[in-house]
Chains A and B, each alone.
Chain A
Amino acid sequence: QVQLQESGPGLVKPSETLSLTCSVSDGSISSSNYYWGWIRQPPGKGLEWIGNIYYSGSTYYNPSLKSRVIISLDTSRAQFSLKVMSVTATDTAVYYCARLAGGTGFDSWGQGTPVIVSS
């Protein structure tokens, strides 16, 4: 069973860039059967989809964040990454990476990593 693991700083200063990496335990990151996504959850709130990346490198972003977000893929390292630029306190959240199976649903998730934006 695939395992996903987020890593990155838990504290980011306002106006700086949040950078997270998701490591995928099996070879499915190179499979055409899956997309790879980032979702976040502010404290006590619901889930917000940030964006997806396909094995080909094609990306799909939430328009609410599109101008500040970059998702990239490194199949050689079995990782994909998230960058959110010019962060503010509203970017404080638990960030999850997840696998999307053919558009049907996110079937595997990382444990989540909390990120606080504060000076």
Chain B
Amino acid sequence: DIQMTQSPSSVSASVGDRVTITCRASQDIVNWLAWYQQKPGKAPELLIYAASSLQSGVPARFSGSGSVTDFTLTISNLQPEDFATYFCQQANSFPYTFGQGTKVEIK
């Protein structure tokens, strides 16, 4: 199985900050990576697919980059509604696997 390792596991930030979350795959996944946002008690929502493509309806302050094994999710100008947990997921090969999550908390 491909292991997905996210860092940090949590980050404290203020409204207006820029937050960067990284995800590392244990082997080459090309650009088959998705990012999700999950709020407490809710289902995850797709933010980014194919490493850098913004899902329809997602604000442009979210961006993704990377390829092969190293990927980044950046939230620019953090908004109050962005405080949540973020997961990466590889879609290169079965079984699909997720990172352990990064919780973005209010400083």
Q: A residues bordering B, Cβ < 8 Å? A: 46-49, 52, 60-64, 96, 98, 100-101, 103-107, 109-112
Contacts and interface: CB of A to CB of B under 8 A. Distances in A.
A112 B43 CA distance: 6
A106 B43 CA distance: 11
Interface residues of B, number: 25
A48 B98 contact: yes
Given A105-B55, A106-B34, A64 B95 contact: yes
Contact of A60 (B45, B49, B94): B94
Contacts, number: 63
* Chain B binding surface SS class: loop
Interface in B25-74: 32, 34, 36, 42-46, 48-50, 53, 55
Contact of B43 (A48, A49, A64, A96): A96
5 contacts: A49-B98, A105-B50, A105-B91, A106-B44, A109-B44
Contacts of B100: 46
Nearest to A65: B95
A104 B95 contact: no
Interface centre among A52, A63, A96, A105 (most CB of B within 10 A): A105
B22 interface: no
